[in-house]
Structure 1
Amino acid sequence: MTAVSTAKTETHIRELPELTDPSKVAPKDARALTRLFFDQLAVLEEGTPKYQYARNTLIEMNMSLVRFAAGRFRSRGPEEMEDIVQVGMIGLIKAIDRFELTREVEFTSFAIPYIVGEIKRFFRDTTWAVHVPRRLQEARVQLARATDELRSRLGRTPTVKELSELMCLPEEEVIEARLAANAYNSTSLDATINGAEDGESALADFIGTDDAALELVEDFHALAPMIAELDERDRRIIHMRFVEELTQAQIGEHLGVSQMHVSRLLSRTLARLREGMLTTH
């Protein structure tokens, strides 16, 4: 930095007000003070006492934003709310470190998405994919610790009996805890399967689906006796049209009638079969 630029920077550095308790600053005053502190944070040298004071004051002064964002999740228990607020503080700090006055937006509008995003990430990383009883949630943690301890001690994966003895739980509960552990994380059906021969197979490729052709089989079985009840000419027209795939004109030539007459006969027969199918279903 040149002497000219240094002198220019120093002219922008002001003495920041000393706040006894920044967390108790009224929201209206906090908005104006936040801008002042950000203005000085931009010209102060990082790591200096003045820089740290400005940054820490901004954090404390905007803690109300974290409490506001955490309020959306007030249905959680008081213990979990404390974790949510702590996680929200991480989002606030990230917002402070990345905010610039040149964005010409209010800091509150910039910070809230960071705070909420951090809280949602917390839920995504720590929430069970499927709800299980708290007893089993706690048993899963105990099981993980016991498994690690025995694996390091024995040099192999422990048996249910060995885990049961260490955890002082019946073998049935150890098995139940293992099953519950499967509900902790979910996997996307689009996730690529490791070791697949083509290297691109997804989990969804290995999950069975209903075969649409099965419905056709049922329809054919229901339709067969209805076709058997038709007179010989109508059955022949159906066969030529849908099995031999002849046009109406070609069918007319075979029967010695006009194409229009074939069309009327075919429409009448199909309507009869359709009505019978609807009645059957």
Structure 2
Amino acid sequence: MVPILISAAELHAVLPTVRVLDVRWTLAVPDGRPAYLEGHVPGAVYVDLDSELARHGAPEDGRHPLPDPADLQESARGWGLDDGDTAVVYDGGGNLAAARTWWLLRDAGVADVRLLDGALPAWTAAGYPLATGPEHPARGSVTLRPRRSAVLDIDSAARFPDGGVLLDARAGERYRGETEPVDPRAGHIPGAVSAPTSDNLAGDGTFLPVDRLRERFTALGVSADRPVAAYCGSGVTAAHTVVALTLAGFEPALYPGSWSQWANHPDRPAATGQAPA
């Protein structure tokens, strides 16, 4: 199995031979380009999450629907990606946004995609240099074939808790319906289990060891004989939980529409409180 994570030291050792992608994005600061220009891993190409890793649809589609396959391929070629390349992805901290790129490229058939464990802070903490300004890679020729991974639509997400474990990767207060800063309704999909994305990480922003991830998900009801899937607010950070589940040895599905799609369908019920139902 191709490794999922790469350490700062490992990346530094192979830097000239891999394609590095900088996906700095947060809900509060969606445009990460200024921070990228101020300092990034040498050779890293900036990836715009909102315009390159999602398409813009109706509210009923959610805030970050999966990009059109042809558009994603065009973007990936613009990043300089060729068939057979190893891609290393990171963001400004925790890899909550970078995981979206990992999932999309793996789904599209790129065999070797890795997350810089600890993201950019791990690189700088190791004392490695940063480059400034834009990068201009030669245009790549990669061929992508998306839709290889398990994906839920809104109807299959509604049914999923009947026979599987549906994990809600948002903060606990959003799951419980105590607050909803972005989407039109508060609460969670009935039957979903609260599993905040932040609990996948250690204090330094690296992923927890595999055994601790497995313990975490097992305590939430995940097991080898039950299907598991994840959603979040708009399908971005849920990919991070997909990464963590994969590290722990499970085979998760992703609900890309997530709560932002569900909440825009008034006919879909919303549960509140700590209980799944």
For the aligned pair, the TM-score class normalised by the smaller chain equals under 0.3
**Which of these two proteins has the greater Rg computed from alpha carbons?**
1
- TM-score normalised over the length of structure 1: 0.22
Greater RCO (Cα-Cα under 8 Å, separation 6 or more): 2
Higher helix share: 1
Higher strand share: 2
